[in-house]
Amino acid sequence: MGKFIDLTGQRFGRLTVISRAENAKRGSARWHCKCDCGKVTIVVAGSLKSGNTKSCGCITSERMNTIKLRLTHGKTDSSLYKIWEAMKERTGRQSCKNYNNYGGRGIFVCDEWKNDFQTFFDWAMQNGYKKGLTIDRINNYDGYLPDNCRWATTKEQNNNRRNNKYLTHDNKTMTVAEWADALGINNGLLRNRLRRGWTIKDVLTKPVTNRSTLYTHNNKTMTATEWAEAFKINKKTLSNRLHRGWTIEDALTKPVRKK
């Protein structure tokens, strides 16, 4: 008899072994396994180790559904179909790298979309979908539902992230990035001011007026130190370039030669 190997806790494809099952035959160890889809199934150890069994059967079902969808709507190569697939992946598959930020937080895809791409497609077409837009949840703590979703640019979606910092001034509340756009001030400059402990009023209203030389780039004016912080450039390197007569654009954008 071969040496018993405990597979509890190990992962095989979409299956995670949770406990040993009663054997049907002597010598053929069987295991209770939980699939990423939530279903618990019993699998022979050999099938797990060989890779012959990677799920409760949902992989096969998904492949069949994909074939069926390809035959019915012919949109499986479209950008919208990829958005639909990615949406289901990050909310329903634990092996997905973004699962903890979506499914792991209780974010879900409503049944009418999850089970029918055509329904999702129809909603998208009726609600302003265009190639290049991304699906954005209005309430970041709720799921993918028709009433909670919209189409947005990457910039708009970034402004709707749950970890964004909002600043309120003169009865207006916006993200740091939105304030930077509205005031024509570098986003990095505002964040640097916040990190230094400035009040919100000073962060948003205090002009860049100190004794240091001011430099203008892309219609924004800051000191060399502030430009260095905004562009993540060594202050001494930037200062040396400017002293050598470089333009502010070249000083900020040209790569540093490695010695």
Please tell me the distance from the alpha carbon of residue 77 to that of residue 58, in angstroms, as a whole number.
21
Please tell me the distance from the alpha carbon of residue 32 to that of residue 8, in angstroms, as a whole number.
9
Residue 180 sits in the same domain as residue 170: yes
Would you give per-residue pLDDT tens digits along the chain (259 residues)? 557 788 999 999 999 999 998 765 555 788 999 999 889 999 998 889 888 888 998 888 777 766 665 555 556 678 899 999 999 999 998 888 888 888 988 889 999 999 888 899 999 999 989 888 889 888 777 899 999 898 887 766 665 555 566 778 888 877 777 787 777 777 777 777 887 788 888 888 887 554 457 788 888 888 888 888 888 888 888 888 887 778 888 889 888 766 5
1 found inside a domain: no
pTM of structure? 0.41
Residue 94 sits in the same domain as residue 184: no
3 found inside a domain: no
244 found inside a domain: yes
Residue 108 sits in the same domain as residue 141: yes
Of 19, 53, 13, 52, which Cα lies nearest the Cα of 36?
A: 13
Torsion of CA 172, 175, 176, 180, to 10 degrees: -70
Residue 124 sits in the same domain as residue 70: yes
4 found inside a domain: no
Range of the domain at 248: 207-259
Residue 19 sits in the same domain as residue 89: no
Q: Last residue of some domain: 157, 177, 192?
A: 157
Q: Last residue of some domain: 123, 157, 191?
A: 157
Please tell me the distance from the alpha carbon of residue 179 to that of residue 136, in angstroms, as a whole number.
21
Of 37, 57, 38, 39, which Cα lies nearest the Cα of 47?
A: 57
Residue 132 sits in the same domain as residue 52: no
Residue 141 sits in the same domain as residue 78: yes
Helices 224-231 and 187-195 cross at an angle (nearest 10°) of: 100
Residue 99 sits in the same domain as residue 147: yes
Residue 184 sits in the same domain as residue 153: no
252 found inside a domain: yes
Residue 107 sits in the same domain as residue 132: yes
Residue 123 sits in the same domain as residue 69: yes
> In the chain, which ranges are continuous DSSP H helix?
45-50, 58-72, 79-92, 111-114, 117-126, 154-158, 176-183, 187-195, 200-205, 224-231, 235-243, 248-253
2 found inside a domain: no
Predicted pLDDT at 113: 93
Residue 141 sits in the same domain as residue 69: yes
**Is there a contact between 177 and 166 (Cβ–Cβ < 8 Å)?**
no
111 found inside a domain: yes
The residue assigned the tokens 């598959």 is 93
Q: Last residue of some domain: 139, 157, 175?
A: 157
228 found inside a domain: yes
How many folded domains does the chain comprise? 4
